[in-house]
Amino acid sequence: MSELLAIPALILLLTLGAGLVRVVIGPTPTDRLMAAQLTGTTGIATLLVLAPVLRAPALVDVALVFALLAAVAAAAFTRQRRSAEEP
């Protein structure tokens, strides 16, 4: 069972990679900001699925830290431009 979870992990990474196409082609900064959302959720799912495959339960803790930082990352990304423009 555990080894079979490598397949969903691979599929998740593929969806993550395909989603990054949108980040690359844009066309608006809004599309690029979505990288924060995409890597947040899909990355966390990948880590959770990989934890039993690699027999590394610590990956669940890594996922937890990712989840904790996801909100901060989104806030930081969206702030950046505005504060750079204002002065």
- Using rule CB under 8 A, residue 34 touches another protein: yes
Pick between residue 1 and residue 87 the one whose CB is nearest to another protein: 1
Among positions 37-56, residues that touch another protein (CB under 8 A) are 37-38, 40-42, 44-45, 48-49, 52
Count, residues near another protein per rule CB under 8 A: 44
In three-state form (DSSP H/G/I as H, E/B as E, the rest C), the secondary structure along the chain is: CCHHHHHHHHHHHHHHHHHHHHHHHCCCHHHHHHHHHHHHHHHHHHHHHHHHHCCCCHHHHHHHHHHHHHHHHHHHHHHHHHHHHCC
CA count, 13 A, side-chain hemisphere, 4: 1
What are the residues binding another protein (CB under 8 A)? Answer: 1, 4-5, 8, 11-12, 15-16, 18-19, 21-22, 28-31, 33-34, 36-38, 40-42, 44-45, 48-49, 52, 60-61, 63-64, 67-68, 70-71, 73-75, 78, 81-82, 85
